Each structure stands twice: as structure tokens, then as C-alpha cells.
Amino acid sequence: MMPFNKKQTIKNRDRREFLTATACGLGIASGIASSIALSADETPAIELGDNTIQVISDGVMHLPVSMILPEELINPTERDDFLKSHNLGPERLSQDCNITLLQQKDKTIIFDVGAGPNFMPTTGKLYEELGARGIDPLDVTDVVFTHAHPDHLWGLMDDFDEPLFANAQYHLNKKEWEYWLDDNTLSNTPDDRKAFVVGAQNRLPLLKDTLTLFDYGQEILPNVEAVDTAGHTPGHTSFAIHGGTESLMLLGDALTNQFIAFEQPKWRLAMDQNQELAISNRLRLLDRMATDKQRIIGFHLPHPGTGMVERNGSAYRYVA
């Protein structure tokens, strides 16, 4: 694949204009709004000081229960009873994919890029959703990654194999970069996850010239602080967005399912690469969010994934 360059930027714009024209044409021809082809939801923006925050859907991901909570990690009866009590399962779990867009005076920042065209047919909707909101991917100044799993990274290239955010500066945790590009990572990864490694190794090097690597605790962009939530992946990062006297936490995958992660935070999840570390960071995060009554946005919480954490006995609950 070619590195990002000016020529691709122009091609990208041509295609965008074509898609916009097509969508408008549909609207005029049918006499109804152009949202027939493009389905922007009506989720209102959140204003936080000088920050305007919107959540955009990349679609819905369907995973087998056995991939998230395999019998090696949990008693299947306990698991199935819990899922049934929340009308979930028994065969698969569906999770929304929520991309956060942060607009500041001089910056348009996007957190994760979704799954793109090559992951699941029900995901990879970001491009259309941006178009439906009148947001040009070429105007995105910064792309920030929580981690490099497929549903967060593979949308980097579009279905024409061109960069979607061709003018952006990219930001990734240094540990995440080192882990995925390490020579030993592929051989140390179980067969059913090797595609994650190959996918990351095919894509991350494309960012080399436009990538800033950060550490936990840094203010990586104005009002955006990198928060250590390692465990799901070695460099998994959540982001605190500060505005005025308030702040909001973008969780990424530190808390995923709205019932499992909050009500059973000590369950070991197969998708967490270091399960013990993920659990301790999850508990720390839940305690802090409940105590501070801080707003959260979860990548996999029910769209738009905004809400709060409440204490519920010795565990917690998610309040949308």
C-alpha cells in the first residue's frame, strides 16, 4: 500500500464529493431526506468547556459468547444464568462500536477509526456516518487510538485501500506500538487471534511518518490526558477530556459490555490480553468514576455509549 500523499488526498476528496452528490440525488429523487443512504442518528453533542463531543456509530459487532467468556475462564452455568437474567446470549453477544469525535477551536480529533471494510459486514460504517453529519474526513486534524485491535484500527484504510484521514496527525501509546510490531508477538499469539497481529502489522507502519507516540499521564492534545488502562492490550489507553471544571472519560475497551463489565468486574474476559491487569484497572476505574460521578463514553456500550457509573453493593451498574 502506498504511503499517504497529496495525490491520495485529492482522490479522497473526489470520492467524497461523488458520495455526497449521490446521497443528495437520492433525497431529491425520492422527495425525502437524504438519510436513506446515510443514517446519522440524532444523538445530541456534549458541550464541555471549549470542547464539543459527538459520538458516531461504526456499527454493531457480533461475537460468540464462547469467545468472550469461554468455559476455561468461567463456570458456564453461572455465565449463562447471568446472561439470561439480562436477556443476553446464549450464543452470541452484540456490542455497539462508538467513535468519539472531539471538536475544538482549531482541531477536529477522532478517537479510533472503527473496523473498516474487512472485519465484519455489520461494522465499518464510520465513513458513511461522518458524511451524513457533514464531516469531511480530510478535515480531521488528529486521530487518537485507544489500542490496536481490529474494531479500533482497521478503519484506517477505506474500501479503496486509501487513507481515510489523510491529513491527520496520529497518536498511539508507545507500549502499544512496541507490542504489535515486536517480532515475537505473532508467534506468541494463539491461532484464533493471529489475524489481529497481522492486521496491526500491515497497518501501523503506514503511520510511521505521521505518528506521535505517547506515554500514560501525558496531555497528548489540548485538554486530552492519556490514562493508564493497560490489560485489554499492553498499551491500552483511556482518555480524560477536560473542559472547564468538568471532565469526561473515554473508556475505550477498559469497560466493554454494560452488564458484564459493571456488575461482574472481576470476571476474566478472554479478549483481555492480560486478564489480571485488566481486572485491577477496571476496578480502579469503576471506583474512580463512581466516586467522581464523572461522565463516561464507552466504545462498546449501547450507542451512543454515554453515561455514568453507580455503585451497586460491592459492584457497580451502568446508567445510560
Q: How many residues sit in the footprint of Zn ion (CB under 5 A)?
A: 2
Pick 128 or 253: Cβ nearer Zn ion: 253
Pick 96 or 253: Cβ nearer Zn ion: 253
Task: Check residue 232 and report its DSSP letter.
Answer: S
Rounded least distance, CB 255 to Zn ion, Å: 11
Considering only residues 128, 129, 151, 158, which one is a binding residue for Zn ion as defined by CB under 5 A? 151
Classified as helix, coil or strand, 17 is: helix
Establish if 58 lies at the interface with Zn ion (CB under 5 A).
no
Pick 147 or 295: Cβ nearer Zn ion: 147
Pick 225 or 253: Cβ nearer Zn ion: 253
Rounded least distance, CB 42 to Zn ion, Å: 24
> Per CB under 5 A, which region of 187-195, 205-213, 248-256, 288-296 contacts Zn ion?
248-256
Q: Which residues pair with 252 in a beta bridge?
A: 298
Establish if 272 lies at the interface with Zn ion (CB under 5 A).
no
Beta-strand pair 219-221/211-214 = unpaired
Pick 53 or 148: Cβ nearer Zn ion: 148
Classified as helix, coil or strand, 294 is: coil
DSSP notation for 95-136:
EEEEEEEEE-SS-EEEE----GGGS-TTB--HHHHHHHTT--
Rounded least distance, CB 308 to Zn ion, Å: 21
Contacts of 305 (CB under 8 A, 6+ apart): 55, 96, 98, 297, 298, 299
> Per CB under 5 A, which region of 30-38, 148-156, 239-247, 272-280 contacts Zn ion?
148-156
CB 262 within 8 A of CB 317: yes
Q: Beginning with the edge strand found earlier in the chain, give each strand of the sheet holding 46-48 in spatial order.
A: 46-48, 51-64, 92-103, 108-111, 142-144, 169-173, 211-214
Question: Contact letters (x/-) for Zn ion, 193-232, by CB under 5 A?
Answer: ----------------------------------------
Rounded least distance, CB 294 to Zn ion, Å: 21
Pick 58 or 253: Cβ nearer Zn ion: 253
> Per CB under 5 A, which region of 50-58, 143-151, 157-165, 222-230 contacts Zn ion?
143-151
> Per CB under 5 A, which region of 4-12, 70-78, 184-192, 252-260 contacts Zn ion?
252-260
Rounded least distance, CB 273 to Zn ion, Å: 12
DSSP notation for 142-203:
EEE-S--SHHHHGGGB-TTSSBSSTT-EEEEEHHHHHHHH-TTTTTTS-GGGHHHHHHHHHH
End-to-end CA distance of the chain: 41
> Per CB under 5 A, which region of 19-27, 146-154, 185-193, 257-265 contacts Zn ion?
146-154
**Cis peptide preceding 205, ω within 30 of 0:** no
Rounded least distance, CB 257 to Zn ion, Å: 11
Task: Check residue 320 and report its DSSP letter.
Answer: -
Beta-strand pair 108-111/142-144 = parallel
Pick 158 or 253: Cβ nearer Zn ion: 253
> Per CB under 5 A, which region of 38-46, 194-202, 247-255, 259-267 contacts Zn ion?
247-255
Classified as helix, coil or strand, 92 is: strand
Rounded least distance, CB 299 to Zn ion, Å: 6
Rounded CA-CA distance 32/93 in Å is: 35
Establish if 253 lies at the interface with Zn ion (CB under 5 A).
yes
Q: Which residues bind Zn ion (CB under 5 A)?
A: 151, 253
